[in-house]
Amino acid sequence: MPAASTKKSRILTGIQPSGDMQLGNYLGAVKHWVINQDIQTNFIPVVDLHSITVKQDPEELRRQTVSLVAMLIACGIDPEKSTLFIQSHISAHAVLSWILNCTTPVGWLERMIQYKEKSHNRERVSTGLLTYPILMAADILIYDADEVPVGQDQKQHVELTRDIAERFNNIYGETFVLPQAVVPQIGARVMGLDNPLIKMSKSHAHIRGHAISMLDAPKEIERSIKRSVTDSFNEICFSNEKERAGVNNLLGIYQVITGKTVKEVENDFKDARGYGDLKSRVSDTVVSEIEPITKRYYELINDPAELGRLIQKGDDSAKQYADPKLDIVLAKVGLHRNDSAGR
pLDDT in tens, 23-73: 999 998 899 899 999 999 999 999 999 999 888 999 999 999 999 999 999
* Mean pLDDT of all residues belonging to the chain: 90
Of 240 and 217, more confident: 217
CA–CA separation, 232 and 192 (whole Å): 18
pTM above 0.75, yes or no: yes
Residues of the chain with CATH 1.10.240.10: 202-300
The pLDDT, as a whole number, for residue 187 is 54
CA–CA separation, 294 and 195 (whole Å): 26
pLDDT at 273 over 80: yes
The pLDDT, as a whole number, for residue 121 is 64
Q: Helix axis angle, 127-141 relative to 91-101, nearest 10°?
A: 110
Q: Under a CB-based contact definition with an 8 Å cutoff, are residues 13 and 29 in contact? A: yes
Regarding the domain with residue range 10-187+303-341, which homologous superfamily does it belong to in the CATH classification? HUPs (3.40.50.620)
CATH of 202-300 given 3.40.50.1580, 1.10.10.10, 3.40.640.10, 1.10.240.10: 1.10.240.10
Q: Under a CB-based contact definition with an 8 Å cutoff, are residues 216 and 224 in contact? A: yes
CA angle, 179 as apex, 331 and 115 as ends, to 5°? 95
CA–CA separation, 83 and 45 (whole Å): 8
pLDDT at 316 over 60: yes
Of 32 and 95, more confident: 95
Give pLDDT tens digits for 117-156.
766 666 677 888 889 999 999 999 999 999 998 877 788 9
The pLDDT, as a whole number, for residue 123 is 64
Mean pLDDT of 228-232: 90
Q: Give the catalytic positions in this structure.
A: 118, 199, 202
Residues of the chain with CATH 3.40.50.620: 10-187+303-341
343: confidence class by pLDDT, cuts 50, 70, 90: very low
* φ/ψ (deg, to 5) at 228: -65, 150
